[in-house]
Copies of this chain bind each other. A is one copy, B any other.
Amino acid sequence: MAVVTDFIERKTSGFNDMHDLTADVAAAVQKSGLRDGTATVFAPGSTAGITTIEFEPGLKRDLPEFFEKLAPQNKTYHHDQTWHDGNGFSHVRAALLGPSLVVPFSDSQLLLGTWQQITLIDFDNRPRQRRIVVQIIGE
């Protein structure tokens, strides 16, 4: 058993910007040399989230539209009255989706469905440089 901590760097544009991390997470599992275990994908910061989705152009519009309706940008948030950074909506969306995803692997292969991609969503209201954690525990 061993723990390997790795990182994925991504420039993001915010406003529900979606990034497919699947190949990077799979590469981190390969690089770890571990055969069976879990890959924990974690977004440090409070305005981004991690989930899985079929990463295709239609859903890349549907999911942002869904979040825009769920926690609209053009609404007054108490957070903005405190900090005046205008990203209250980003924090609410990120807290709901959550920053962590745990994907099991076996024989060094992620046990994802064929049309299921590990996805970072950046909810912030400005470009960011994200450093996503991929921590692999296994044997």
List A residues at the B interface (Cβ < 8 Å). Answer: 1-3, 5, 36-38, 40, 42, 44-46, 51-54, 56-59, 61-63, 66, 70-71, 77-83, 88, 91-92, 94-104, 106, 111-113, 115-117, 119, 133, 135, 137-139
Contacts and interface: CB of A to CB of B under 8 A. Distances in A.
14 contacts: A3-B36, A3-B138, A38-B135, A44-B116, A45-B115, A46-B115, A46-B116, A51-B99, A52-B99, A53-B95, A62-B92, A106-B135, A137-B137, A137-B138
Best-buried of A36, A53, A101 by chain B (most CB within 10 Å): A53
Contact of A95 (B52, B95, B133, B135): B52
Number of copies of this chain that the complex holds: 3
